[in-house]
Chains A and B, each alone.
Chain A
C-alpha cells in the first residue's frame, strides 16, 4: 500500500505542500488566482519550531480510531484509504478527539476534512508530494 511519508530532515518549512493541498480540492486551473487573498485550510499541515519543520497528514492507520469512533458512519476505510462522506458528517468532531496525529480538522462546510490521498480529485496522486520541492514528502510503498 502506497502511503505519504515525511522525512523532516528534508523539510524546508516552505508550506508549499499546504498550498498544493488547498488548491487540489478547488478544481481550479491557476493556483495563484484561486488562492489569492484567501486563508487556506489545507488537509496537510506543517508544524514548525526552532528550525525544525515537518508536514502532518492522515496516516490512514491500521487501527483507525477516527473510523471506529465515528458516530455517524461518515468515515470509512476502503482499500486502505480513509475517506469522509461529507453528506453524513454532522461535525461532532469525535474524530478530531480520536486522531493521535492531529490530522483531522474541522472545515468551512461544517463537516470535517482530512487527507484522502487525492483519490477524489487527482486519481490518487497526492498533490502535496508533487508540490514538495525538496523530496521531504514522498508517496511510496514501505510495507507495514
Chain B
C-alpha cells in the first residue's frame, strides 16, 4: 500500500509502486479545477491539499453575499461536503507552505514537517495589499475584505448607524459596500482613481455606475488619497475630514508568488506560466490568481485574477500533472458584477474601433479591430452577452458573420446558416439545403 497518507512525509517509493503523489498548495477554485481534472485521469494517486485557512473550499466572491444575507456558510461551499472524500484528497488545514525544495521534491510547512510531491501545483491566490498610510497602525477597527474570516470579523463589529470608510472603489470595495448596505450603515468610499471600477470601466460607464451607487447612498471621494489617519478621522489629500467607526482597506491585491520566486522560478507580477500551466521549474505548475499568462484579447502577459480563469487553469494544470497533454490558451479578462440590482459585464481589451449604444442605465460598447472583437462593456441589458464573449474567446473573424446585426443584438441569427446548423443541429462538415 503505497498511497497510504501516513507515509506522506517520508514516503519511499518501493518497487512496483507507481502511484503518483500530487500536492496542491492552496484550497480554492484552481485547486478544485485541478482535483477534478486529476481524478478524470488518475483514480489512485494521492492528492494532498495544503491550506492556510481553516475552511472547506468556499467561493471567495460570495463573502459580500454572505453579509447581504443572500447566501450562508453552507451554501457558499464551492463544492459539496463530500468533495475531498469522493476525490480521495487529504486536506491539511491551517498549514502554511513556507518553502519548496525542488531538488528534493518536497514542500516544507510552517510546523517544520515536509510533504513530498511528484507533481506540485501552486495556487496560492493573492493577498490584500495595504499601502503605508500615516496613522493607520493606530486605527482600531480596520479590516480587509478578501476571505471568509475577513467577512466574519467585519460582520462582528458592524452595528446600525456606524460610519464605514472604504478605501478603494474597485470590485472588492464596491462589493463590500453592497454587502454591508443592508446593515443600515453610512458608507463613504475613497479612491485615488478618478472613477469607480477603474480597472474594468471606461469614463462614461463608470459615471453610470457611480450615479447608481450614489442613489443607494454611497458617498464618493475620487481622485483622493488618504493623507493620514488621526484616531477615527481620515484626512484626505485636499484636507477633507472623514469621520468613521470602521475602516475597510480594499486598495488592491497582490499575487502570492514568493514560493516560486524564492527558488528562482520565473515571476513577474505573477508566477509566469505557459499554456500548459507549467512554471519554469520542472514538475511545478501554477494556476489562478497567483499566476500570470497571456490575455488572448491583447496578447499581453497579465495576472487575470478571475474565478473562471482560475478554474480553467487549475483544470489545465491537473490534466498535465496527471499525464494528459492539455492546453489552456483562452484566458482573457471577464467580469460579471451586480451592484444594487444593476448588472455590469465586461470582457477583453478596450482597443480599436468602437460601437456604442446607450440609453439611460443601459450601456453598450464594443471594441474591435483587425476583423476581431477585442472587448466590450455592457451595463443594464446583459441578455445573451456570452455570444459577444465567445467572439473574443474564439477570435472569430467578424467578416464571417453579420456584424452590424450582432452589434445591435447578440444572437445566433448573425451567424451563417451553416454555423447555426453546427451549433444547434450538431451537424458537422455537411452541407445542408437552404
Which among A47, A71, A96, A102 is the interface contact of B62 at CB below 8 angstroms?
A: A71
Which among B308, B336, B425 is the interface contact of A7 at CB below 8 angstroms?
A: B425
B411 contacts A by Cβ under 8 Å = yes
State whether A5 and B424 are in contact (beta carbons under 8 Å apart), knowing that A68-B311, A102-B383 are contacts in the complex. Answer: yes
CB distance from A87 to the nearest CB of B (A): 6
A120 contacts B by Cβ under 8 Å = no
Residues in chain B near residue A142, CB distance under 8 A: 426
State whether A68 and B383 are in contact (beta carbons under 8 Å apart), knowing that A8-B420, A97-B336, A97-B389 are contacts in the complex. Answer: no
0 or 1 for each of B310-343: is its CB under 8 Å from A? (1 = yes): 0110010000000000000000001111100001
- Give A92 to B62 CA distance when docked, in angstroms: 10
Contact A100 B336 (CB under 8 A): no
- Give A111 to B87 CA distance when docked, in angstroms: 28
Q: Which residue of B lies closest to A91 (CB)?
A: B338
Contact B59 A73 (CB under 8 A): yes
Most buried by A among B70, B76, B385, B424: B424
- Give A117 to B308 CA distance when docked, in angstroms: 25
A49 contacts B by Cβ under 8 Å = yes
B412 contacts A by Cβ under 8 Å = yes
0 or 1 for each of A74-92: is its CB under 8 Å from B? (1 = yes): 0000000000000110111
- Give A102 to B390 CA distance when docked, in angstroms: 10
A105 contacts B by Cβ under 8 Å = yes
- Give A104 to B410 CA distance when docked, in angstroms: 13
**What's the count of A-B pairs with C-beta under 8 Å?**
129
B40 contacts A by Cβ under 8 Å = no
Residues in chain A near residue B345, CB distance under 8 A: 93, 96-97
Which among B61, B385, B405, B432 is the interface contact of A71 at CB below 8 angstroms?
A: B61
B371 contacts A by Cβ under 8 Å = no
B169 contacts A by Cβ under 8 Å = no
CB distance from B434 to the nearest CB of A (A): 8
Q: Which of A21-29, A52-60, A124-132 contacts B (4 or more CB under 8 A)?
A: A52-60
0 or 1 for each of A86-126: is its CB under 8 Å from B? (1 = yes): 01101111111111111011100010000000000000000
Residues in chain A near residue B62, CB distance under 8 A: 71-72, 90
Contact A69 B417 (CB under 8 A): no
- Give A101 to B405 CA distance when docked, in angstroms: 16
Residues in chain B near residue A55, CB distance under 8 A: 424
A9 contacts B by Cβ under 8 Å = yes
Residues in chain A near residue B133, CB distance under 8 A: none
0 or 1 for each of B415-434: is its CB under 8 Å from A? (1 = yes): 00100110111100000110
State whether A100 and B70 are in contact (beta carbons under 8 Å apart), knowing that A47-B412, A73-B79, A94-B308 are contacts in the complex. Answer: no
Contact A65 B308 (CB under 8 A): yes
- Give A73 to B347 CA distance when docked, in angstroms: 21
B211 contacts A by Cβ under 8 Å = no
Residues in chain A near residue B216, CB distance under 8 A: none
Contact B389 A102 (CB under 8 A): no
Contact A68 B382 (CB under 8 A): no
Contact B387 A100 (CB under 8 A): yes
State whether A56 and B412 are in contact (beta carbons under 8 Å apart), knowing that A65-B308, A68-B315, A97-B389 are contacts in the complex. Answer: yes
State whether A93 and B382 are in contact (beta carbons under 8 Å apart), knowing that A56-B424, A69-B308 are contacts in the complex. Answer: yes
0 or 1 for each of B364-392: is its CB under 8 Å from A? (1 = yes): 00000000000000000011111101100
Which among B65, B311, B382, B390 is the interface contact of A100 at CB below 8 angstroms?
A: B390
State whether A99 and B386 are in contact (beta carbons under 8 Å apart), knowing that A73-B59, A92-B336 are contacts in the complex. Answer: yes
Contact B308 A102 (CB under 8 A): no
Residues in chain B near residue A102, CB distance under 8 A: 383-387, 410-412
Q: Which residue of A lies closest to B432 (CB)?
A: A9
B413 contacts A by Cβ under 8 Å = yes
A12 contacts B by Cβ under 8 Å = no
0 or 1 for each of A1-15: is its CB under 8 Å from B? (1 = yes): 001011111000000
B75 contacts A by Cβ under 8 Å = yes
State whether A92 and B338 are in contact (beta carbons under 8 Å apart), knowing that A9-B433, A72-B78, A73-B78 are contacts in the complex. Answer: yes
Residues in chain A near residue B394, CB distance under 8 A: 100
Most buried by B among A5, A52, A98: A98
- Give A135 to B129 CA distance when docked, in angstroms: 59
19 contacts between A and B (CB under 8 A): A5-B425, A5-B426, A49-B413, A52-B417, A56-B424, A65-B308, A68-B312, A72-B59, A73-B59, A92-B337, A94-B334, A96-B384, A97-B347, A97-B382, A99-B384, A100-B387, A100-B389, A100-B393, A102-B387
Can you name 15 extra interface pairs (CB under 8 A) apart from A54-B424, A94-B336, A97-B347?
A6-B424, A9-B432, A47-B411, A47-B412, A49-B405, A54-B420, A59-B423, A68-B33, A69-B307, A92-B61, A93-B343, A96-B345, A99-B384, A102-B387, A110-B70
Q: Ordered nearest first, which 8 A-B pairs have the shortest CB separation?
A: A102-B384, A69-B308, A100-B390, A99-B386, A6-B424, A97-B336, A94-B336, A73-B78
